[in-house]
């Protein structure tokens, strides 16, 4: 017996569109972001997915994406668990800044290190390593046991919180994960065996 696990990064947010560092700031979805979430829901419906619970972050762009997907699936009473552990990584002093302006202020190389290194955080913020240190314990304590019971789970979250999860599920190295791109509104599919063995589909 296996359980389905689907990861979905929120649709395009208003700050994605403006090329701003978002992190724990809480902008809504753009029209395109809503359409991406609807498209993901349609895709999941076409594949016949039925979920037992949805996990999402404390941020509205992820919550709204999950709501839209459930609506497309025709589900209105699914248990939804919201937790800060699944939030995007905190960009600290970069939050709200335009990415081009940040490069002008700190230089291309430094901003690239903050964005793409595994364990160098921006000032006042989190690295991908820091993000994984809150995402993975939460996954193992709250989500994995339900998968091992055979429950099908949808996680609607963020680029970096999901990169942390994919790193664990796909057994990626830190060099591999920093190159991993997770597109908005594009479901990632896994099957989890009752033994805990992960099968990506």
Residues marked as catalytic: 10, 88
Identify the DSSP state of 139. Answer: I
Q: Could you tell me if 89 and 161 are in contact, meaning their C-beta atoms sit under 8 angstroms apart?
A: yes
Q: Residue by residue, what is the 3-state secondary structure of 10-39?
A: CCCEHHHHCCECCCCCCCCECHHHHHHHHH
Q: What is the Cα Rg of the chain in Å?
A: 17
| H or E segment to which residue 157 belongs | strand 153-157
């Amino acid at each position: 017996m296996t359980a389905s696990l689907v990861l979905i990064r929120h649709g395009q947010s208003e700050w994605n569109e403006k090329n701003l560092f978002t992190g724990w700031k809480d902008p809504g979805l753009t029209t395109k972001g809503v359409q991406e979430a609807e498209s993901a829901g349609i895709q999941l419906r076409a594949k016949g997915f039925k979920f037992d619970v949805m996990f999402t972050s404390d941020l509205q762009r992820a919550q709204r994406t999950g709501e839209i997907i459930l609506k497309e699936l025709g589900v209105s009473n699914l248990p939804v668990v919201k937790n800060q552990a699944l939030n995007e990584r905190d960009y600290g002093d970069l939050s709200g800044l335009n990415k081009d302006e940040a490069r002008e202020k700190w230089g291309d190389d430094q901003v690239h290190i903050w964005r793409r290194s595994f364990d160098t955080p921006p000032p006042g913020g989190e690295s991908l390593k820091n993000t994984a240190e809150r995402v993975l314990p939460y996954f193992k304590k709250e989500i994995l046991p339900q998968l091992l019971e055979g429950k099908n789970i949808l996680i609607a979250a963020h680029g970096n919180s999901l990169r942390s999860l994919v790193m664990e599920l796909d057994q990626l190295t830190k060099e591999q994960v920093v190159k991993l791109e997770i597109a908005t509104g594009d479901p990632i599919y896994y099957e989890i065996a009752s033994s805990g063995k992960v099968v990506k589909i």
